[in-house]
Chain A
Amino acid sequence: MTLLYFAWVRQKIGKSEEILAPPAAIADVAGLVAHLKTMGAGYDADFADPAPLRVAVNKRHCGFDTPIAADDEVAFFPPVTGG
């Protein structure tokens, strides 16, 4: 699974991209967030309270109940501020 981070999420975690082999028990984005919370300080800072986070799976905005699979691209970021 490819994970991408943008804006302050990227800064707190300290990287923009990583490849993760998630445990097979993870079925959806919420399950992935629960797993990421256990991965260290930067992750804990971001994912302790996922309320301000947005997620895209395979480059589409989606909810935290979206199912995910091992070859998906999952991106976490704050609400967008372009335009």
Chain B
Amino acid sequence: MLSRIRLTLKQHRFETIAVTIVCVGLTVAALIEAYRLNSLNVPLSCLQSYQGGYMGPSQAPVTAAQAHCNELAKSFNDMRGSLDMNLVQLLLLFAPILAGIVVGAPLVAREIEQGTAPLSWALSGSRRRWLLGKVLAGVFLLAPLMLAVGLAANVLEGALNPGLNPYASFSNYLGRGVPDVFWALAAFAGTFALGTVLGRTMPAVVLALVVCFFVRATWDAGMTHFVLRQFAVQQVQQDQQQQQGYMVYGPGGPGNADMYVYYKSFIDGKEVTDAEVNAWYNQNMVCVPMPTQSASTSPADSSSPGASSSPGASSSPGAPATPDNSKMGDNGVACQGPNIDPSHMPQQVQYVIPGSWYWQTIAFESGLLLLGSLFCGAIAFVWVDRRRPY
């Protein structure tokens, strides 16, 4: 069996060397990027207080220490958004699936295509034993390489999000760590199964790329909607407070260690629909025009509770909420919250998979990917015995 594995790696030497170079190079690149970020030693507080290049009018004077803090935070953010960092992150995302396809596609298909399969089958004694040797060679090549890539991706994730424990957070959890190994194995198994069925390398590559794109793109949503939904628990206040230390900085803004699954809305302890919550806010929120240059609504538009600005007088998303429970848009419309006990206001309860369940979730999803891989492998083993040798 060992000779067969060695022979397989030799037969596919270009793919073997290419995948090895890319994976080792990517691992080293990810570790270097993580080291560069860590060596900046930016305090977490600097990242939390940094507001980008914008200085608000009400911002307190910037002290020399704060200015230094801002410079550190900017250099951190610049490095995060740099071209090399983006390239490494992009490659980390695609590497497992591409490696699986590249190794899996020619495994069976090339021998059938080149007409060498019948001789190999005859020499091996059994087609299944022949396929087993080739599959083991692929697994022995991919598993350690992908584990190295996944662990390096974990280190990079920790460096990109200071204060975040990558092993207790669902931030980008399917693109790093152990799942990388199982993505690669799933892509590998699916592709060599396609190669066995089709018997041609390029068609196997083309189909595998399409299938893998869809599976990867729909996996998160599918898992969240159909599988993890039943395991989600109500997010507790303690978790929310703990997550203050797990701020994830990036283009998407602060993130969470917990995996958000769904939410429910309540008014006075009774579960309500979104439409009912909207109706509540429309009844109780008062919107008035502010005396600024850009205000475009007349006072009459919003003189009574429930009235709001004219349709054109809306403001941009994310208008900041003022401390007295009011919100102001950038075109001069302010909405004042009701003067009622906050406990009677609509409450939104989030249902999440807590970050502390990281390993259970990883084990579960990896198990599903492994099952899929075994299923594809089984198809290949059944099919290789029955297929024409050309």
A binds B: no
